[in-house]
Chain A
C-alpha cells in the first residue's frame, strides 16, 4: 500500500489537536473553580475553600503544563502540514491567532507564575487577582481560537483576491454566524468538564473518608453547578444545532443519519448503522418525527438529506453519527446525575449514598469524552471541506514526502501515549495524596505580610508547604 502524505498529515493533526483539547477543557473550568474558591475563602475565611483551592491547584498545574506543550505544536502545524491553507487563509486566521497570543497566552503565562509559586511573595488580594487573571486568560484564549475555527465552518466577511482570502469586515469574520453558539457551547463544556472531574474526585474521597469536609463541600458545590449548567448546555446545544441546520445542512444530515434528498417528518434515530456506499441506514431504531419536531418545530418539517449533494461532498457519516450520540448521551446522563443529586440532597442522604457516590466517581472523564465526541461531530462533519464550501482539505495539504510525515506522526503517537500515561499516573498520585491538612493551612496564611506567617516560619525553619511542591 502506498503511503498517502495528505492522509498522514490529517491523521497527525487530528491526533495532536485531540490530545491538546483535553487539557484546555480541564484548565478553563478548573482555573475558574479555583478562582471561585479562593474568592470565597477571602470573603468568608472558611479554610475549607482554601483547602479546595490548594488541593486542585496541583492537578491544574500539570494539566496546564500539558496544554502548553501540546498547544505550541498546533501553532506550527498549520504551516508545516497545511502550507497552502496557511498561505491562502493566513490574512484572515493569522491576526485572530496573533490576538490570542497577545491578549491571552502572555497573560496566562505571566500570572501563572504568581498563581502557582507566589503564595508567599504577594499579598492575598494580589494572589487572588493573579488567579482571576489566569482564569480570564483561558476564556479569552477560547474566544479567539473559537472565532478562527468558526470562520472555517461559516466563513463570512471575506473576499478572495488572486486565490488568497482578504478581509472585508473583521466584525463579520470574528462574529461569524456560528461563532456565538460554538463559543458558548465550548466554554460551558469546559466548565462542565472540570465540574465533573471535581465532582467525581469528591465522591471518591467521600467514599474513602466520609467525614472529609472538603470532599463534602466539593461535591455539594459541583452538584449545584452541574444542576444549573447541564440543562443550560442542552439548551445552548439545541440552538447550535439549529445554526448547523441553517449553515451546514449536510453536517446536520450526517448527525441525524438522513439519506434522502429531503425528508419530511424525519425520526430521531437512537441507533442505526449508516452505510456510506449504500446511501442508507441499517437497523434503525428511532422515535418517529422527533428530529423534524426538534429542528423545525413542526412534526412534518423538511430536513435536507445527504444525497442532496454528490458523494464526494459528504463527510464520513458513521463517525459523525456515532460521535453525536455519544456526546448527547453523556449530556443526558449528566443532567440525570444532577437531578439525582438534588433528590438525595432533599432527602439528606447525599453524602452517605454509597451507590450514588460510586457512580459519580466513574464520571471523572465524562466531560472530556463528550468534548472530544463533540469536536469530532464538528470537524469530521465539515469534511471534505476545510473552509466550508470554499477550500477542500485535500487541496491545501503540504506536498511533503510521506515517510517524513509518518516519522513525525509516529513520534507524536509514542510521545503523547507515554505522556498521557504519565499524566494519569500523577493525577492519581496527587488525588491519593489528598489535600494539605487544615492545621498546616491555618499556620501559613497567604502572604509574607500576613500576620502569623513569620511565626509559622520560625516554628518550621523550612516553609511547611515546601514538601508540597
Chain B
C-alpha cells in the first residue's frame, strides 16, 4: 500500500503540484506579454508575484500543522518544493522591481533600500531566503545536521517581514495585509500549542 502511494506521489503527485505552483507565473507572464494586465502592467506583475511569494510562504508553513492534523507524513514530501516556489516568486517579484519597474536605476534602487522601510524590509526578507534556498538540498541537510533545522527557523522571521512589507506599502486599505497577518498568526498559534504541549482535541 505504502509502496503504491509513494509511486503515485513521485509519478503524479509531485509533477502535478509542481505544474500547479508554476501556473500563476505562467498566467501572469502570458498576460504581461499580451498586454492583458491593464493600464499599468508592470505594477500588476510586480505586485502579483509578490503576493504569490507570500502565499507560498504561508502554504509552506502550513505543511507541518497539516501533517499533525492528518496524522500522516505525506504532506512533508511537498514542503521543500513549496518553499522553493516561495523563493521563486519572491525572486521574480524582486527582479520585476529591479528590471521592469526601476530598469536598473541603481541610484534610485539604493536610495529606496536605505530610505524606504518597506523596501528595506522586503529586501531583508529576500536576502534571508537565499541561505534557505541554497541549503534546501539533501546534501546540505546532511552536512548541516542539527543546524539545518535551526537555520530554517528563519522562515518564521521571513514570513513576518513579508507581512510587514505588505502593510507598509498599502495606501489606506489594509484588508489584504490583515488577512495575511491573521493567517500567519494562526500558523504560529498551531506551533505554540505544540510547544506548550497543549493537547489537540483529546
User: A and B from one assembly?
Assistant: no
What is A's interface to B at a CB cutoff of 8 Å? none
